[in-house]
Structure 1
Amino acid sequence: MNYLLLFLAVAVGYFVAVFLKQKELRNMEVFLAFSGAFLLSITVFELIPHVFETPSKSIGVYIMLGILLQIFLEFFSKGAEHGHVHLHSEAKHFPWILFVSLSIHAFMEGFPISEENNLLLAIIIHKIPVAIILSFFFITAGYKKSTTLFFLFFFALMTPLGSFIANNYNFVHQYETQITAVVIGIFLHVSTTILFESSKNHKFNLSKMTAVILAVVIAYFI
């Protein structure tokens, strides 16, 4: 069921994008702010305490590696992981670099998901607005429908695949803490960037601030 929910999050994003207009897309900023704050809160409240059960400087190193990995991936994805994507209308060939970088990001997201944390919910809330924005720009950039669906289908498979491998292969369990720390770094970078970029001129209005506070409160009490 978890794998299906993760896949459907991207599917929902696509179908919403099909019916969106440019003006409505701008209203996604509040949803993005909520998703970024929620992902950041789950990371801080649940994942970080888990990896630091046995304090070690090496855990900090892996977290920094995750941040650097995400920065490297965004060099190719142009920030599509947090809804900041620019696709050129004249480029109709398949965007392999974007596909690979986003797939690595999505694949890594799946590893820490378990019944012991609420990361599944955070990832779903994170994926829907990103999938909406990514789908919308693919559509408006003039890519063929088959190209868009191919891209989104395999993108949707990556997080369930990462979660499946983490739950079914013993060799992954040997490095669970280190992998989780790397993913924490990825989440810290992505979620804070979402919060930073979802505010015009880097200033929060009341609706976005309310969304952020609500996300933090919900994440704390669930």
Structure 2
Amino acid sequence: MNYILLIASVILGALLVFIIKPSNKIVRLLLAFSGAYLLSVTILHLLPEVYTETTDSKRVGIFILIGIILQSVLESFSKGAEHGHIHIHSDGKKFPSLLFVSLCLHAFSEGLPIHHAGDNLLWAIIVHKIPIAIVLTTFLIQTKYSKKIVFGFLFFFGFMSPLGVLLGDKIDFFTNYYTEITALIIGVFLHISTIILFESSENHTFNLQKFMAILLGVLLTVFTL
């Protein structure tokens, strides 16, 4: 079921673009909601769980910091696609290989701890993937790439997290270092979610709709997970 839900989240995001073509305003609100939800799950569930798995709290903290730094490096290649802003322009002549590799690596890594972390992490990633898939699909169809390339990109991106779930459960290395991997992903999530919330602000002015989307994301985490 985990595999199906993760793949379905990418399919849903892509279908929303092809069917209803959500406006930039709607996408920004979805991003704000997903960022708040992701941050809340990270703070309320993943952080307490990972610190109870070990007595070496400093080691956990170091891996969280590594995750933050790692995500900063990945974003230099993905141009911000993980948090909903692809800051590149393509003429369709050169495929953005670094963006593809970076996004797939990110999607694969976030799937690694799902089997052990449970539904809290699963739903956080699902909520995160839907608006990202919307932004990614919108970018791809606005380029001059063929439909074969567009759907191939989305196909591989959609299957990276399920692959991470599978290997995270079956490969001894990932199971033996589950705590460190989870701490790493916490750092990645902290970086992504805070960037989403900060970038969703315009001119640092109060936006009631954005605030309500953030509040909904937080409350949904508090009362349902």
TM-score bucket of the superposed structures, by smaller chain? over 0.9
- The amino acid of 1:2's aligned partner reads N
1:25 aligns with 2:24: yes
In 1, are the aligned partners of 2:66 and 2:184 still within 8 Å (CA)?
Answer: yes
Percent identity of paired positions between Structure 1 and Structure 2: 52
In 1, are the aligned partners of 2:37 and 2:218 still within 8 Å (CA)?
Answer: yes
CA offsets per residue over residues 74-111 of structure 1, 9 Å max, x none?
A: 00000000110034242433211100000111011102
Counterpart for residue 11 of structure 1: 11
Alpha carbons of structure 1 residues 123 and 204: separation in structure 2 relative to 1, 3 Å: farther
Supply the distance in 2 between the matched residues of 1:125 and 1:47 (Cα, whole angstroms).
16
After superposing the two structures, state which structure 1 stretch, 25-34 or 174-183, moved more: 25-34
Counterpart for residue 130 of structure 1: 132
Supply the distance in 1 between the matched residues of 2:95 and 2:68 (Cα, whole angstroms).
27
- The amino acid of 2:30's aligned partner reads F
Counterpart for residue 210 of structure 2: 208
- The amino acid of 2:38's aligned partner reads L
Counterpart for residue 197 of structure 2: 195
After superposing the two structures, state which structure 1 stretch, 112-121 or 133-142, moved more: 112-121
Counterpart for residue 43 of structure 2: 44
Supply the distance in 1 between the matched residues of 2:88 and 2:10 (Cα, whole angstroms).
19
Supply the distance in 2 between the matched residues of 1:103 and 1:125 (Cα, whole angstroms).
17
1:92 aligns with 2:120: no
Supply the distance in 2 between the matched residues of 1:209 and 1:200 (Cα, whole angstroms).
12
- The amino acid of 2:222's aligned partner reads Y
Query: Deviation at 1:214?
Result: 1.4
Equivalenced residues, count: 221
Query: Deviation at 1:117?
Result: 4.0
- The amino acid of 1:216's aligned partner reads V
* Runs of 5+ unmatched residues, structure 1: none
In 2, are the aligned partners of 1:166 and 1:172 still within 8 Å (CA)?
Answer: yes
In 1, are the aligned partners of 2:79 and 2:88 still within 8 Å (CA)?
Answer: no
- The amino acid of 2:50's aligned partner reads V
Supply the distance in 1 between the matched residues of 2:159 and 2:170 (Cα, whole angstroms).
16
In 2, are the aligned partners of 1:110 and 1:162 still within 8 Å (CA)?
Answer: yes
Supply the distance in 1 between the matched residues of 2:43 and 2:205 (Cα, whole angstroms).
23
Supply the distance in 1 between the matched residues of 2:136 and 2:174 (Cα, whole angstroms).
31
- The amino acid of 1:194's aligned partner reads I
Supply the distance in 2 between the matched residues of 1:150 and 1:188 (Cα, whole angstroms).
29
1:63 aligns with 2:51: no
Q: The residue matched to 2:99 in structure 1 has which SS?
A: helix
Counterpart for residue 81 of structure 2: 80
Supply the distance in 1 between the matched residues of 2:205 and 2:185 (Cα, whole angstroms).
28
CA offsets per residue over residues 23-67 of structure 1, 9 Å max, x none?
A: 713321111100000011001111100111135211111000000
- What TM-score do you get using the length of structure 2 for normalisation? 0.93
Supply the distance in 2 between the matched residues of 1:180 and 1:92 (Cα, whole angstroms).
38
Q: The residue matched to 1:81 in structure 2 has which SS?
A: helix
* Runs of 5+ unmatched residues, structure 2: none
- The amino acid of 2:3's aligned partner reads Y
Alpha carbons of structure 1 residues 61 and 67: separation in structure 2 relative to 1, 3 Å: same
Alpha carbons of structure 1 residues 35 and 47: separation in structure 2 relative to 1, 3 Å: same
- What TM-score do you get using the length of structure 1 for normalisation? 0.94
Supply the distance in 2 between the matched residues of 1:117 and 1:89 (Cα, whole angstroms).
37
Supply the distance in 1 between the matched residues of 2:217 and 2:166 (Cα, whole angstroms).
27
Counterpart for residue 172 of structure 1: 174
In 2, are the aligned partners of 1:29 and 1:199 still within 8 Å (CA)?
Answer: no
After superposing the two structures, state which structure 1 stretch, 143-152 or 85-94, moved more: 85-94
Supply the distance in 1 between the matched residues of 2:20 and 2:122 (Cα, whole angstroms).
26
